[in-house]
C-alpha cells in the first residue's frame, strides 16, 4: 500500500504504529526495556525478534522504529537506522564498514566534524583516506582505484554550496566496487534523489531540516536492509549511538511539515538571492538556483531547486561582515541550519575558525563570507532585514 503513496502522504502516515488504544498521534514509548511473557519468550526474542518485538532501546524502540520506517520510505531505501546526532550517523556509517588497510576517497570541502572523522579518526585506525576536489570528476577517477572500499562526500558543501555530481561520482566509485556514502544534509530529504542517482548509503543530520525547529540533535543512516541491519546496526547499537524515543517523536512531528517547510524556504531563498544579486556592496551571491551559479544546471538536475541555503560575500572583509550581521534584526546570528528561524553565520570566525588560512582560501571561505539559512519568515521581511544590514556597512 505504502508503495503508491506520494512523499507528502508518507511524511504524515508512513511507518505509524498504534498501540491497543488506537492513539491518533505517534506515541512516545519512553521505555528503555520491554517485559517478556515468560523466560521462554525472552529466549526466543533474543534468538530472533519479530516485527513488533523489541529488546532494549539502544537496539530499537517502537517510536524510533516509526521514524526509521518513515525516513526509509521517503528516501527510497529498504531500511534506516536512527542515531543520536548527525555525526553519529556519519561516523557510524563509515566506521561500521571500514577496517585497517581500507582505502576511502572523500571530497575535501566537508563540515568540520566530518573532516575530523575522516582526517583524524579513521586514519588513526589505519584507514587510508585520499581527499579530492569534489567538483573535479577527473580527480575522483584518478583517486578511486581497484580495492577502494568507500567514497564519501557532502552532496552540497558547507558553506560555499558547491555541488558534487552524485550520479557521475557513483558511476566512478561503482566501477571499482566502492560503496557510495553521501551526506545529504544541505540537499534536504525533500529535494534529495541520491539513491535514485546512484548513492548506496545516505546520511542526514536530522537536527537540520527534519526537526526544522532547532530543538533536538538527531541523525539517520539510510541504505539497503543488508547494510543497515548487518553492518550499521550492529556497530551503532553496540557502540551507543542510538536515537532516544523522545527525539524520534520530535523528528516524526517535524516530518509531517517538512515538505511544506523546505519548499517555502527554497522559494524564499531564491527570492532573496535574486533580490540581492548585483548589489554593489556584495562581491558575490552564491545560490545554486541562480543562473550565475557555475553549477546551476547540476543543481536543477540533482535537486530540482537551488535549496534553502545561500551565501553572501560582503565586500571588504571581517569588519564589514560583522557590521552587516550586527545590524540584522529578524535573522539571528547562530550556526544551525534548516531552522524555521533564519540564521546568519560567519564561517571564517566560527564553524571553520580552526582551519588554517590557506585552507580557508582554498575552500572559498573569505573574511566577508556569510552563510544564510533561510527560514519560514516572509521573504520580503527577510530582504528588508538584509538590506538594512547592507546599509549599516
113 near ligand PLP, rule: CB under 6 A: yes
188 near ligand PLP, rule: CB under 6 A: no
| Residues in CB range of 189: below 8 A, 6 or more apart | 71, 74, 75, 204, 209, 210, 258
CA distance linking residue 287 with residue 164, whole number of Å: 15
114 near ligand PLP, rule: CB under 6 A: yes
Find the binding residues for ligand PLP in span 215-274 (CB under 6 A). Answer: 217, 219
310 near ligand PLP, rule: CB under 6 A: no
User: What strands lie across the sheet with 201-205, from one edge to the other?
Assistant: 79-83, 219-223, 201-205, 179-183, 148-154, 103-107, 128-132
Length in residues, the chain: 393
85 near ligand PLP, rule: CB under 6 A: yes
For residue 387, give Cα distances in angstroms to 53, 243, 292: 56, 41, 21
Considering only residues 10, 207, 244, 308, which one is a binding residue for ligand PLP as defined by CB under 6 A? 207
158 near ligand PLP, rule: CB under 6 A: yes
92 near ligand PLP, rule: CB under 6 A: no
Instruction: Name which of 105 and 282 has its Cβ closer to ligand PLP.
Output: 105
Span of 110-118, 122-130, 189-197, 307-315 interacting with ligand PLP by CB under 6 A: 110-118
What grid cell was written down for 148? 577502494
The answer to whether 186 and 217 have CB atoms below 8 angstroms apart is no
With H, G, I as helix, E, B as strand and everything else as coil, classify residue 76: coil
373 near ligand PLP, rule: CB under 6 A: no
134 near ligand PLP, rule: CB under 6 A: no
Considering only residues 183, 211, 233, 385, which one is a binding residue for ligand PLP as defined by CB under 6 A? 183
363 near ligand PLP, rule: CB under 6 A: no
What grid cell was written down for 335? 550556526
What residue ranges bind ligand PLP (CB under 6 A)? 85-87, 90, 111, 113-114, 154, 158, 183, 185, 205, 207-208, 217, 219
Amino acid at each position: 500500500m505504502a508503495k503508491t503513496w506520494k512523499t507528502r502522504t508518507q511524511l504524515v502516515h508512513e511507518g505509524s504504529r498504534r498501540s491497543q488504544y488506537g492513539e491518533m498521534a505517534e506515541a512516545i514509548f519512553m521505555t528503555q526495556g520491554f517485559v517478556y511473557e515468560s523466560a521462554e519468550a525472552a529466549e526466543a526474542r533474543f534468538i530472533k525478534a519479530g516485527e513488533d518485538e523489541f529488546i532494549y532501546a539502544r537496539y530499537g524502540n517502537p517510536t524510533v522504529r516509526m521514524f526509521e520506517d518513515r525516513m526509509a520510505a521517503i528516501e527510497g531505501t529498504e531500511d534506516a537506522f536512527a542515531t543520536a546526532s548527525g555525526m553519529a550517523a556519519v561516523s557510524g556509517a563509515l566506521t561500521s564498514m571500514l577496517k585497517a588497510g581500507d582505502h576511502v576517497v572523500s571530497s575535501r570541502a566537508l563540515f568540520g566534524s566530518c573532516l575530523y572523522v575522516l582526517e583524524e579518526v579513521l586514519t588513526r585506525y589505519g584507514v587510508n583516506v585520499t581527499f579530492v576536489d569534489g567538483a573535479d570528476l577527473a580527480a575522483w577517477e584518478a583517486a578511486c582505484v581497484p580495492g577502494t572500499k568507500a567514497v564519501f562526500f557532502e552532496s552540497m558543501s558547507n558553506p560555499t554550496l558547491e555541488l558534487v555530481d552524485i550520479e557521475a561520482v557513483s558511476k566512478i566509485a561503482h566501477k571499482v566496487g566502492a560503496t557510495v556514502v553521501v551526506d545529504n544534509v544541505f540537499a534536504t530529504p525533500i529535494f534529495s534523489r541520491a539513491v535514485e542517482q546512484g548513492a548506496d548509503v545516505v546520511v542526514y543530520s536530522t537536527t537540520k531540516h527534519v526537526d526544522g525547529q532547532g530543538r533536538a540533535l538527531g541523525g539517520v543512516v539510510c541504505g539497503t536492509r543488508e547494510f543497515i541491519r548487518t553492518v550499521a546496526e550492529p556497530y551503532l547499537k553496540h557502540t551507543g549511538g542510538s536515537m532516544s524515543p523522545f527525539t524520534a517523536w520530535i523528528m516524526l512531528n517535524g516530518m509531517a511539515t517538512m515538505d511544506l517547510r523546505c519548499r517555502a524556504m527554497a522559494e524564499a531563498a531564491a527570492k532573496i538571492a535574486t533580490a540581492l544579486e548585483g548589489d554593489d556592496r556584495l562581491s558575490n551571491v552564491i545560490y545554486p538556483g541562480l543562473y550565475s551559479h557555475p553549477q546551476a544546471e547540476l543543481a536543477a538536475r540533482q535537486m530540482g531547486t537551488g535549496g534553502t541555503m545561500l551565501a553572501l560575500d560582503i565586500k571588504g572583509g571581517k569588519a564589514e561582515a560583522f557590521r552587516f550581521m550586527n545590524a540584522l534584526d529578524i535573522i539571528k546570528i547562530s550556526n544551525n541550519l534548516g531552522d524555521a528561524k533564519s540564521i546568519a553565520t560567519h564561517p571564517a570566525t566560527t564553524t571553520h575558525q580552526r582551519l588554517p588560512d590557506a585552507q580557508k582560501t582554498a575552500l572559498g571561505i573569505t573574511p566577508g563570507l556569510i552563510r544564510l539559512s533561510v527560514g519560514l519568515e516572509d521573504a520580503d521581511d527577510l530582504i528588508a532585514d538584509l538590506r538594512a544590514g547592507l546599509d549599516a556597512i
